[in-house]
Amino acid sequence: MMKKLSYYIMLLGIVFFTSCEDFLDQVPKHNLTLDNAVTDYSGAKNILNGMYAIVASSSEFGGATWCRLSSQGGFYSSYTAHFNMSYKEGFNDMNGTWKSYYTLVNSANAAIEAISNLAENKFPTPERKQEMLAEARCMRGWAYINLFWFFGRWWDADDSAYGILYRDKMSNLSNLQVSRLSVGESYTKIFEDLDDAIANMPDFTTSRYLSRQMAQVIKAKILLYRGVMRGSTQDLKDALILVETVKRDAPAAWQMETDIAVMYKAGWDSKEVLWARYLGDFASTTSYEFDYSYNIGYNNTYSDIATGWLKEDPRYEVVMDSARAPETWDTKKVFTPVKLYHGGRYDTKDAPYATYYFRYAELYLMEAELKARLDDYSLEEALKPLNDMRACRTNPVLPALSPGNKQALLRAIFQEIWVEQFLENGSEYFAALRFINDTDASVAQNKPWIYTLKPDVNFTENQYCWPIPENERIKNPLAVQNPELGN
């Protein structure tokens, strides 16, 4: 399998990595080779696997991005510029994220083109061709929504000009310079990909690949985030339909783990994981995951509020512990989230350093939040999914919660998102933007929780997203910068 993975990376390197400065500024060599590379079903499978090879081989799809977002939300303090939201156009820390996700978009576009051009009789069935196209579109939709969440004003009204830079063809000089889509157009393009995936992808079988259920929860998260920020009841209702559909129809093989320690030890092989970044084909998993295997060992400071929530929760004793420092020369113990750090890159270089893009627990949390925000559901109905999730655990045992009203329930859900998912996939950052602190008597009262978590940082919603990288703006002057984030 490692040889195959190396082949995919080599093929896609020829196809996509045309410049260390910016892969979009070169005429891609794949225009001469793609048709020859994908001539049969095996080639079609190879080019799909190439998308996953890109995800595996770039740490921007791993802890580096999610630790930045946790810092940005005020929970974690490792990334100072993100905690302070001091990034501007010339700040280079996000260049790698931009490049990696657009490389993935390009990979998905190549797969869509190659598979579309391959005759149906090259596939086991016509339906299999549709499934493979849908898988590539799902990956493209996932890449674009992350780019939108990172670099766009996704919370704006539809007519806002600060959407994504969109390409649905492989990059070349003819589509290098493109304007940003509007916010509404961005959502339309992303939903077109995800709707096709929902209609045509196969159901979940393994967390190493995308599935129909993953497409459904991606769309549900988009609607949840957008719906709260815009005050759209319809978005929330549509998101809840998707969540309930997944709970009802998902294969039984995907289910909650009772033991949290067992879940994290299994990593991407845990039955609770819907999709994860799989690194098992590499000789050393730590080579492709720096933050989880190294950075969180040495940089393990969290805000007082976040630390307090962790310490008062039974999960604290399971997910936090002492482990050996990651450097060869450093034998001291560090106190760290062992759920992700395991034993660090010195003691456990082959541990499953998974990035959990979605776990079953998050489905319960989404259902509880959606019902808490909709008037159609009582407090008891909204609380049930949260307590159902907690009741699934036996190590540790999580007692049922009993908030007195929906306001208190929403606060409990926000706290639960942090404790259950911290540093895993950015969920706590987006939660800090949409949950309102309406219970604490402070200067940040009745504002999003991010203002309570970072009371000494001066920022506005203009800093909720990152600047378009300077390298992109130099090569593509049509890419208008986000407000207040230019040089």
Give residue limits of the domains in the chain.
2-201+465-475, 279-353
CATH topology (fold) of 2-201+465-475 = 1.25.40
Helix or strand holding residue 320 (H, E): strand 320-324
For residues 213 and 253, the answer to whether their CB atoms sit within 8 Å is no
pLDDT averages per 10-residue partition of the chain, 487 residues: 48 44 38 69 96 95 97 94 95 92 96 96 97 98 98 98 95 86 98 98 98 98 98 98 98 98 97 97 87 95 94 97 97 97 94 97 98 98 98 98 97 98 98 90 80 94 97 94 94
CA–CA distance, 444 with 456 (Å, rounded to integer) = 11
CA distance 268 to 436: 33
- The per-residue pLDDT for 11 is 52
Q: What is the pLDDT of residue 442?
A: 65
Q: What is the DSSP secondary-structure string of 371-438?
A: HHH-TTS-HHHHHHHHHHHHHH-BBTB-PPP--SSHHHHHHHHHHHHHHHHTTTSSHHHHHHHHSEE-
The pLDDT of residue 12 is: 53
Give the per-residue pLDDT at 116: 97
Phi and psi angles of residue 355, each rounded to the nearest 5 degrees, phi first: -105, 120
Q: What is the pLDDT of residues 439-458, one digit of tens each?
A: 766 666 789 999 999 999 99
- Please say whether the beta carbons of 172 and 143 come within 8 A: no
- Give the pLDDT confidence score for residue 173 in this predicted structure: 76
Amino acid 68: pLDDT: 96
**CA of residue 481 relative to chain centroid, distance:** 23
pTM of the model: 0.94
Helix 212-230 crosses helix 360-373 at what angle (to 10 degrees)?
A: 30
CA 329 to chain centre: 34
CA–CA separation, 188 and 263 (whole Å): 36
